């Protein structure tokens, strides 16, 4: 049994014409750091010095057709055109206002299928944000080429290069910083090191901070592998990756992202409403699989549904049998072995490998922690991350009076939901905190 393709829900219309995939790439990443020292204000990166160029990509059967779209426009609201019209790129040359740290950008256009003459209104969205120094002053981001276009000559396979940046108030930190890279589901065995099949097969290689070729890290180790070079045959349609960076003091940050191979003949779509109102209601998602642009029978397929939270961190779907409603956190200790005390007991104690989601009372902190041993129905102990969940362990009183849930599954499959064939999956408002991305993995048992 093997994974033949992957997919995720995106913002575009869908009809019986050829499947359309749209997304936006940001040349300077998604975040910038705002620092104010008395009258001195700095931004890093500074968009007024080097604009953050947003580029729209719209693919139909492996071909980027964004230049063929009519009525192209960029806006800060869906349907708006305040950022420009008639072009496929938008250069943001002003910094994000820290008083309004979330900056949404929408690209829209109309694609006419040359065979059916049906018109698809295509929409893609990207969110930029400003991080204030003194709150989340250190963060990790990954930028570079997130889509691999096919080589039309059929010769050497194309590749994409992505690069990690550990950002601080003073700028990018490259002193003593080491890295680990993982593929989903981000367990220890999924590290891209000297033992991983994608590395030994030369489908993924590394570069160091200086930009030169770097040897693959030894099994389970940190190394100066700042950049990842991904060959197209490493990517089954979409490849879900995680970068971890460790600074000279031993602190660790993580970032999840997706690289897409546009040339892959398999294409997975997730159809469904993607808006919740006031966190209520539910969203029914339907899987579809295409081969060469034609929908195929998925009766024998199984699907793995994965969730990432609004901060692009590995999350999961709530186990409503164990937490039909959130549990209030009375108190907790700190660090990678913190213990969370809840006010109302669970029906049964969580076991090692389970995962909890915790949200602070002010809603600003949301993390998913792996459960350790020795938990009871009222005290849940966490452990250092093994399967790629959060390493931002609790600080003193950070989650007091906040909420706690338990995910479906355990271990490497914690948070993952499963369906078979054309069965739909229902996402509830409790699964999504503000926003989230659903990633779908299609598995053909005959491969």
pLDDT tens profile 211-233: 999 999 999 999 999 999 999 88
CB-neighbour burial class of residue 2 (10 A; exposed 0-12, middle 13-18, buried 19+): exposed
The four Cα atoms 49, 310, 108, 295 give a dihedral, to 10 degrees, of 130
- 4 confidence band (pLDDT: 50, 70, 90): low
Average pLDDT, the chain: 86
pLDDT, one tens digit per residue, over 366-409 is 999 999 999 999 999 999 999 989 988 999 999 999 999 999 99
Query: What pLDDT shows up at residue 23?
Result: 86
Q: Which domains, and CATH codes, for the chain? A: 1-131 (no CATH), 138-264 (2.60.40.1080), 266-315+416-444 (2.60.40)
Residue 317 has pLDDT above 90, yes or no: yes
| Residues 338-373: tens digit of each pLDDT | 999 999 999 999 999 999 999 999 888 899 999 999
Chain centre to alpha carbon of residue 338: 26
Q: What is the pTM of this model?
A: 0.66
**Confidence grade of residue 320 (pLDDT, cut at 50, 70, 90):** very high
Residues 6+ apart with CB under 8 A from 165: 29, 140, 141, 142, 143, 172
Q: What is the pLDDT of residue 310?
A: 79
pLDDT tens by residue, 68-101: 999 999 999 888 999 999 999 999 999 998 878 8
Q: How many CA atoms lie within 13 A of 256 on its CB side?
A: 24
Percent of the chain residues past pLDDT 70, beyond the cut:
89
437 CA to centre of own chain: 7
Model confidence band, residue 184 (pLDDT cutoffs 50, 70, 90):
confident
- Mean per-residue pLDDT, 43-50: 92
Q: Is pLDDT above 80 for 7?
A: no
Q: Is the pLDDT of residue 137 over 80?
A: no
Q: Which residue has the tokens 């479906």?
A: 408
């Amino acid at each position: 049994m093997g994974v033949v393709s992957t997919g995720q829900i995106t913002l575009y219309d869908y009809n019986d014409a050829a499947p359309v995939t749209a997304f936006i790439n940001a040349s300077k990443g998604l975040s910038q750091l705002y620092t104010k020292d008395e009258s001195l204000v700095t931004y890093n990166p500074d968009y007024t010095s080097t604009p953050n160029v947003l580029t729209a990509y719209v693919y139909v059967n492996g071909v980027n057709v964004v230049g063929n779209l009519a009525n192209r426009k960029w806006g800060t609201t869906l349907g708006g055109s305040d950022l420009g019209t008639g072009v496929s790129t938008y250069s943001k040359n002003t910094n994000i206002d820290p008083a309004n740290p979330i900056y949404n950008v929408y690209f829209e256009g109309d694609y006419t299928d040359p065979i059916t003459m049906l018109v698809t209104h295509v929409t893609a969205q990207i969110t930029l944000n400003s991080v204030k120094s003194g709150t989340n002053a250190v963060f990790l981001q990954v930028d570079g080429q997130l889509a691999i276009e096919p080589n039309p000559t059929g010769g050497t396979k194309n590749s994409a290069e992505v690069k990690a940046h550990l950002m601080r108030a003073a700028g990018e930190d490259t002193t003593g910083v080491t890295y680990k890279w993982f593929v989903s589901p981000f367990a220890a065995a999924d590290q891209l090191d000297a033992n991983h099949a994608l590395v030994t097969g030369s489908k993924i290689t590394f570069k160091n901070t200086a930009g030169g070729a770097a040897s693959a890290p030894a099994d389970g180790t940190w190394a100066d592998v700042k950049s990842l070079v991904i060959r197209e045959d490493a990517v089954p349609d979409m490849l879900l990756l995680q970068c971890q960076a460790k600074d000279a003091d031993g602190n660790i940050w993580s970032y999840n992202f997706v690289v897409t191979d546009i040339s892959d003949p398999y294409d997975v779509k997730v159809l469904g409403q993607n808006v919740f109102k006031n966190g209520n209601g539910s969203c029914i998602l339907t899987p579809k699989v295409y081969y060469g642009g034609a929908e195929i029978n998925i009766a024998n397929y199984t699907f793995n549904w994965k969730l990432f939270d609004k901060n692009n961190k590995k999350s999961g779907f709530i186990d409503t049998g164990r937490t039909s409603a959130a549990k209030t956190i009375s108190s907790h200790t700190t660090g990678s072995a913190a213990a969370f005390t809840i006010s109302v007991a669970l029906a049964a104690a969580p076991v090692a490998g389970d995962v909890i989601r915790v949200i602070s009372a002010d809603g600003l902190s949301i993390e998913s922690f792996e459960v350790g041993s020795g938990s009871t129905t009222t005290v849940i102990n966490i452990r250092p991350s093994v399967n790629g969940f959060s390493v931002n362990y609790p600080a003193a009183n950070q989650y007091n009076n906040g909420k706690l849930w338990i995910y479906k599954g355990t271990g490497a499959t914690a948070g993952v939901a499963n369906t078979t064939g054309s069965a739909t999956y229902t996402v509830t408002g409790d699964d999504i905190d503000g926003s989230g991305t659903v990633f779908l993995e299609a598995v053909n048992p005959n491969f």
